Structure 1
């Protein structure tokens, strides 16, 4: 039985940070929550995203790929549903590129958490990361304690990343620069999301 190494954890964390901070539905929702509801709303939304993403990691480590091989239609339905969700988000993002961000009453913590949680439940980017990257980095015979550590590590790292985004956007200077570049940033994100959604639809 192979032992979990620091090199494997380091590779996982590097890949995870790139995935979390890259253009995607989860990052976009975290940014929007921070801009409209403030730092607290952004962090709680990020917590919901992180919990569900960590659960996908746990599922992958426990044999998610094998389950999808036994029930390929379940994976197909999840992939198509996630792809359609991404395409809808891409269209909404493109349409709202020039729409000003209006500060709203922060949602309840439960609602903010649920929004992040359920988004990542059907977020194909999160699923693909879990089912692909994890299987490449880690050996297949991990002990229960190692699986628990990787899952907790995922949650903590993702939560810290979203909390950092929310904290940065709470600063007036950063917020002003982001809003000035919002049309360009959001349309670039929309194009990336649209490409991801289309790729998922045609991938077998």
Structure 2
């Protein structure tokens, strides 16, 4: 494994992580409605989910996972159901006039389920990793480095999204706006659930 081969992994990984999709849409809605804490847990779920698929690809488990399409479908629908639950909770949540926030569920499960239920992630890793590395010759240390690098890159990209939305939340996160923000966020999360369901 050389610096050149690492770049063959880094560049497509960052581009793919930065492309907006249902996970990013859900994260944006989560930040707007619930603030930094839940968004961090959502991003953590996303990163761990991607790391699991990365590990599976490195150790040759991806091809086995792809044979069990029913498992992907089950995880996907669990993610859709959880997103719809979050959307309903946001839509109906009373806003506390004291701080402009409502008690809402955390986002770790949603982030994890969205990532694990997306077979495109494992297909993507299965396409780029063999081009960048000789998977049959990787040592345990090499594999650990790739997973750590992937997790760090994913965290950095999603953190950029997070910081941008937090700035917007400072404007719209006042108590007078929170009911509207919650309902817009609920609609966005519901829309992301429908996008995931159609895949």
Q: Secondary structure at the match of 2:107?
A: helix
Q: Structure 1 residues 105, 83: closer, same or farther in 2, change over 3 A?
A: closer
Structure 2, unaligned stretches of length 5 or more? Answer: 85-90, 173-180
Q: How does 1:1-204 map to 2 (within 5 A)?
A: 4-68=1-65, 72=67, 74=68, 76-81=69-74, 104-105=101-102, 107=104, 111-140=106-135, 141-172=137-168, 193=195, 197=199
> TM-score of the superposition, structure 2-length normalised?
0.67
Contact 1:25 / 1:123 at 8 angstroms: preserved in 2? no
Gaps of 5+ in 1: 93-98, 198-204
The change in CA–CA distance for 1:85 and 1:13 in structure 2 (over 3 A counts) is farther
* Number of aligned residue pairs: 174
Alignment CA distance shift 1:45-1:194 (3 Å): closer
Q: Distance in 2 between matches of 1:104 and 1:163?
A: 22
- TM-superposed CA distance for 1:195, in Å, is 11
RMSD: 3.8
Residue 121 to residue 83, structure 1, CA distance change in 2 (3 Å): closer
CA displacement, residues 104-124 of structure 1 (integer Å, 9 cap, x when unaligned): 53646xx32222122212122
